[in-house]
Chains A and B, each alone.
Chain A
């Protein structure tokens, strides 16, 4: 009988029920979309902030003490270098997944054919790597220096063209030496002389404008520095620092075992640095504060902003649903009066109405949930040009929200209705 009554209620009042279901669906879709976006926004903004370039710099242990500044003179003699064959190891650390990009650098002095001294830097442009994990990664300065303006020619493409003897020149040196894209220049260093085709001229708006960039192998050949690199720039997704991270950054050995594990297994910039130092022999990895600190700040603010906006829109949706549920329950005073007149108990009436509303809410909630997933993807694709990761934790959150809101909306109305006198209601007062 109970089921039949509910069934009939749906059948007879399908218009009203559809409306309630629709409102709940809208609310649920809003909640789903906002929650998914909110949870994912940190990752997305983190990815966007990668345009600021590397946030970790790895240098050999000795140079970090006596740095470039001392101008030791002939650079080829100062001993400290990193080993090129260890580069792949960076992608094997605990937080390997968070390393989105990195590039090695090797600097060497060289002379152009007319005797002018130039700085030549060897690096990866879009170096392709097949990792032991089966992943593939294109790393290099094409993405680490996204702010470079290519004024002439194009980016050096390591993958498409097999010829390694190519270069990119900074706008400053190109202007002074009259180099333009397509030219062939002769560069002579301590290790020998090579002919390079200039494929592009870039404007970096800084010191890099006076440097000629070439593939790593070529720079090593020019400088006679086979297998060696000067520094590595790493771009990693990190968690904003907290007290633990700051304490650990000073001295990891001062932590207790539990603290150490928490720190090691969290993607703080200091723990990633520590792990890089573990795999690269005689290296010092340090955070580039300008990038790492600012990233943390911006991430924190964005996340907080999204949380507050989400809360507001949830409250809005919740109140909207409450409103409608209350309104629809109130309308049924006559029906309830009749039920009471023929002897229905308060409990039975409450049960009936709640069961009806809940059925509608579940139908609306499920529809809304899937619509919300769609919304989230639309937001993801139009803003970040990538899809929003679906988190399972959104499902219980939305479910609880829908049930709670529906209950809150219907209970005051039901209480009001139970207080009604059947005779008055049926009489039409």
Chain B
């Protein structure tokens, strides 16, 4: 009991007396630990955060149906398979041919909020439609009919039964859509307007989904949907999913490699600092040996000191590391990082290990000193 008390007292006293020195060593360890925990956090979180960026490419899954129509209920059942935090956007579409100035134009009914989320790359000159009677038109349509946001236009729909009259409806153009794709040839309206125009209840033709998940996870999701909702077929948009996997894996490999390189270098830095700290205490070691201390007790004391430093540095480092990772995430992705509590003990353990290893070599050589020579000052 007494022995342990003495041991603890020696270690703490030695740390306190040599305050400046120890603060320097602590600083080195803290920085090392901070880089470790910060970069590992970023490494683990990058696929999630970057994955969200890749959702800019738009939908990566579509629902189609063999029968032609998809009912909203089916979509709801199918979507319930996808974890809600992974579903970035869901845009159902229904396509009908309508006439503008008696010329056929493809009209799409959609949920505007859903379309905005599922296709973030759509550039709208003007505003998105917000209420009934408003319409968004593709760039090519606008050029053909010389329409600008704010102008009024009339759409007509010719029902299939020959004896029914054409149905006319007035719209206000709110925005012009520029995508560089074939969306530029369509006009977009709400489901309510489409229902009024066509006089038919709305079912969906196709559903676009933007799901934030890796390719194999998407594969599992689409299989689950296909087996649980047989009325519709979930298909992956290969071009988007496969390319995302390719790019994302490269990016993660880059961060990993950088983490490893930075980590190796900081560990060496911590090592050299600890070596310097121990090496300058040869005199003290000599004195203790002269007083009759065994090698084991000297090693024990130094290791104890080193480990306390390591633990303190590890703890501080994981706090700063999290702050660092958080600020990177806020700056780059505008979203906060996920706190990983298991990283704290791992960081502390790693920094104790590194400090211990770094102390071991100089202590070993220090125990070999001849007390007489050291104390004499040679």
Q: Report A32 CB to chain B, min CB distance, Å.
A: 11
Point out the residue from B24, B240, B247, B275 that lies within 8 Å of A48, measured CB to CB: B247
Q: How would residues 91 to 130 of chain B score, 1 for a CB under 8 Å from any chain A CB and 0 otherwise? A: 0000000000001111000000000000111110000000
Q: Find out whether the CB atom of B178 lies under 8 angstroms from the CB atom of A289.
A: yes
Instruction: Please name all residues of chain B whose beta carbon is closer than 8 Å to the beta carbon of A115 when the two chains form the complex.
Output: none
Looking at the complex, which one of A291, A292, A301, A324 makes contact with B272 (CB distance below 8 Å)? A324
- Contact in complex: B273, A327 (CB < 8 Å): yes
User: In whole angstroms, what is the CA distance A382 to B21 when docked?
Assistant: 40
B331 and A30 form a contact (CB under 8 A)? no
B350 smallest CB distance to A (angstroms):
15
A51 near B180: Cβ-Cβ < 8 Å: no
Q: Are A382 and B179 in contact (CB under 8 A)?
A: no
Chain B residues, Cβ within 8 Å of A315? 31
| CB of A68 within 8 Å of the partner chain | yes
Least distance between A144 CB and chain B CB atoms (Å): 11
Check B277 against A327 for contact (C-beta < 8 Å).
yes
- Which one of B103, B255, B262 has the greatest number of beta carbons of chain A within 10 Å? B262
CB-based contact B273/A288 at 8 Å: no
The answer to whether A323 touches B24, judged by C-beta atoms less than 8 angstroms apart, is yes
Instruction: Check B235 for interface membership: any CB of A closer than 8 A.
Output: yes
Q: Which of B45-60 contact A (CB under 8 A)?
A: 46, 50, 53-54, 56-58
Chain B residue nearest in CB terms to A310: B258
A387–B151 Cα gap in the complex (Å)?
Answer: 55
- CB within 8 Å: A-B pair count: 208
Is A301 a contact partner of B238 (Cβ separation < 8 A)? no
> Quick check: B140 and A64 within 8 Å, CB to CB?
yes
Bound Cα distance from A69 to B269, whole angstroms: 66
Bound CA span A52–B245, Å: 11
Contact with A along B17-34 (1 / 0, CB 8 A): 000010011011001101
> Is A17's CB within 8 Å of the partner chain B?
no
CB < 8 Å neighbour of B258 from A34, A68, A323: A34
B340 within 8 A of A: no
CB-CB < 8 A to B121: which residues of A?
A: 289-290, 293-294
Known A288-B181, A309-B39, A316-B269: A48·B144 in contact at CB below 8 Å: no
* A290:B273 contact, CB within 8 angstroms: no
Task: Please name the residue on chain A nearest to B275 by beta carbon.
Answer: A19
Which among A48, A146, A289 is the interface contact of B180 at CB below 8 angstroms? Answer: A289
Which of B21, B28, B280, B328 interacts with A320 by CB under 8 Å?
B28
Q: A312 to B35, Cβ gap below 8 A?
A: yes
Is B297 in contact with chain A by the CB < 8 A criterion? Answer: no
Evaluate contact between A294 and B273: CB separation under 8 angstroms.
no
Number of interface residues of B (CB under 8 A): 75
Q: Is the CB of B237 within 8 A of A205?
A: yes
Inter-subunit contact B253/A383 (CB<8 Å): yes
With A289-B121, A290-B57, A312-B324 already in contact, the answer to whether A205 and B239 are too (CB < 8 A) is: yes
Please name all residues of chain B whose beta carbon is closer than 8 Å to the beta carbon of A197 when the two chains form the complex.
none
From A29, which residue of chain B is reached at the shortest CB distance?
Answer: B265
Cβ contacts under 8 Å, B269 to chain A:
23, 26-27, 316-317, 320-321, 323-324
Given that A23-B272, A33-B261, A313-B262 are known contacts, is A48 also in contact with B181, CB under 8 Å in the complex? no
Which of chain A's residues has its CB closest to B242's CB? A147
Q: Are A375 and B178 in contact (CB under 8 A)?
A: no
A37 interfacial contact with B, CB 8 Å: yes
B residues with a Cβ closer than 8 A to A are 21, 24-25, 27-28, 31-32, 34-35, 38-39, 42, 46, 50, 53-54, 56-58, 103-106, 119-123, 140, 143-144, 178-182, 184-186, 235-240, 242-243, 246-247, 250-251, 253-255, 257-258, 261-262, 265-266, 268-270, 272-273, 275-277, 280, 324, 328, 331-333, 377
9 residue pairs, one from A and one from B, having the closest CB atoms:
A320-B269, A205-B238, A294-B56, A288-B180, A51-B243, A327-B276, A69-B185, A293-B121, A313-B262
Contact sample, A vs B, 11 pairs, CB 8 Å cutoff: A37-B258, A52-B240, A203-B238, A289-B121, A294-B57, A297-B53, A313-B266, A315-B31, A316-B265, A323-B27, A379-B257
